[in-house]
Amino acid sequence: MWTHCLFLGDNISVHAVYADKRIVDKFAAIRAFVQVVEAGGFAAAARDMGLSRSAVNKLVITLETELGVRLLQRSTRKVAPTATGSAFYERCLGILADLEEAELAVSQAQAEPMGALRINAPMTFGTLYLGAVLAEFMAQYPRVQVQLTLADRFVDPLAEGFDMTLRIAQPQTSAQLVSHELAKLRCLLCAAPDYLKRHGVPASVQDLSLHSCLAYGELAGRHEWVLEGPQGESSVVVNGAMCSNNGEVLREAAIRGLGIVLLPEFIVHHGLAQGSLQEIFLDAQPRSLSLCVLYPTNRHLSTKVQLLTTFLQERFSGLSSGLN
């Protein structure tokens, strides 16, 4: 191909070939860098890749030179990524996963999903529901490898390289992220019967300000709860002895009489059924939350992401009307 283009004197073709080669070399360098990080050294990475140690080292050095940053800290004992290298490594995983799937899709006639699928989800929801659902999905598509990270902190799917992120929140729009709603989640106000016996049952939204309210969040102090009634939205600033970014922690604190919680039904429904929690009915009710799947707008949705989104939509549609 090179000789053919040069003899034709086709400058455009020559430039195109050079560009193609640079892209291929860049992917080779990225693969080498990722392999070095995962293997913990150049020698092990070279063995895994079937290359010489010097070839792998040259690929990584070329990558560092092009980026203008040091990606690896090299010592006689070990090789470890720098802070910049760690962030770059996370992004590279998504790039290589997409490339792997593209290569496999081209080489095979069938559209069977395959390769790594990096998912982030909230801790409580993931623990209660995702294990069984993802196992069912993987039984149906055995060539998909799921990497599930559960975290209640805010996650930036773009920066951390996730293919899809599940989030429970009010619907949001973003120029960087596509949000697809899977289900509406009913939220409830509730407290332990003993707490309500000792402190009384609030009769209005504003009465909540007189109670110990256990808020979802990471910052202690004042929190605002918004409820909806016939006259529209009502908000109240609440305070309490405890706040947490984990719903199960708040539920257990409420069961033990520390105060009132406002949580999705899937977290408190067992406590309500067992009588350890009692629902509080006011002239306004908490707003529903959305279970959404988020993915970057600038990334082509792979077959496996599309299939899992549809699969989750089917499995979780029942959350809107009730829980099992």
The per-residue pLDDT for range 149-177, each reduced to its tens digit, is: 998 777 776 667 788 889 888 766 666 77
Tokens at residue 261, please? Answer: 């919680």
Mean pLDDT of all residues in 315-320:
74
Check whether 133 has a pLDDT greater than 80. Answer: yes
Check whether 19 has a pLDDT greater than 60. Answer: no
Check whether 314 has a pLDDT greater than 60. Answer: yes
Q: Which residues pair with 94 in a beta bridge?
A: none
Tokens at residue 229, please? Answer: 């009634």
Helix ranges, 75-190 (H): 83-107, 123-125, 131-140, 157-160
Per the model's pLDDT, the better-predicted residue between 101 and 83 turns out to be 83
CA 105 from chain centre, in angstroms, equals 25
Bridge-based pairing state of the strands 115-121 and 144-150: parallel
CATH number of 187-287, picked from 3.40.190.10, 3.40.640.10, 3.40.50.1000, 3.30.420.40? 3.40.190.10
Helix ranges, the chain (H): 2-8, 11-39, 42-49, 53-67, 83-107, 123-125, 131-140, 157-160, 193-199, 247-255, 265-274, 303-316
Give dist(CA 20, CA 26) in Å, integer.
Answer: 10
Tokens at residue 239, please? Answer: 């305070």
CATH code given to domain 111-185+290-320: 3.40.190.10
Mean pLDDT of all residues in 176-199:
91
Question: How does residue 61 score in pLDDT terms, banded at 50, 70 and 90?
Answer: very high
Cβ-proximal residues to 253 (8 Å cutoff; 6+ apart), any chain: 214, 242, 244, 259, 261
- For the chain, which residues make up each domain, given as ranges? 2-94, 111-185+290-320, 187-287
In CATH terms, are 111-185+290-320 and 187-287 the same topology?
A: yes
Mean pLDDT of all residues in 116-126:
90
Per the model's pLDDT, the better-predicted residue between 264 and 4 turns out to be 264
Nearest to 316 by CA among 112, 118, 166, 157: 166
Check whether 286 has a pLDDT greater than 70. Answer: yes
Give dist(CA 184, CA 87) in Å, integer.
Answer: 34
- Ranges 122-126, 190-194, 275-279: which has the least confidence: 122-126
CATH code given to domain 2-94: 1.10.10.10
Burial bucket for residue 106 (CB in 10 Å: 0-12, 13-18, 19+): exposed
Tokens at residue 48, please? Answer: 């895994």
SS3 249: helix
Give dist(CA 217, CA 154) in Å, integer.
Answer: 11
Per this entry, what is the length of the chain?
324
- Ranges 84-88, 137-141, 230-234: which has the least confidence: 230-234
Give dist(CA 324, CA 322) in Å, integer.
Answer: 7
Check whether 51 has a pLDDT greater than 50. Answer: yes
Give kind and range of the element (H or E) at residue 278: strand 278-279
Average pLDDT value over all residues in the chain:
83
Integer angstrom CA distances of residue 312 from 42, 137, 155: 41, 9, 20
> In this structure, what DSSP letter does residue 320 have?
G
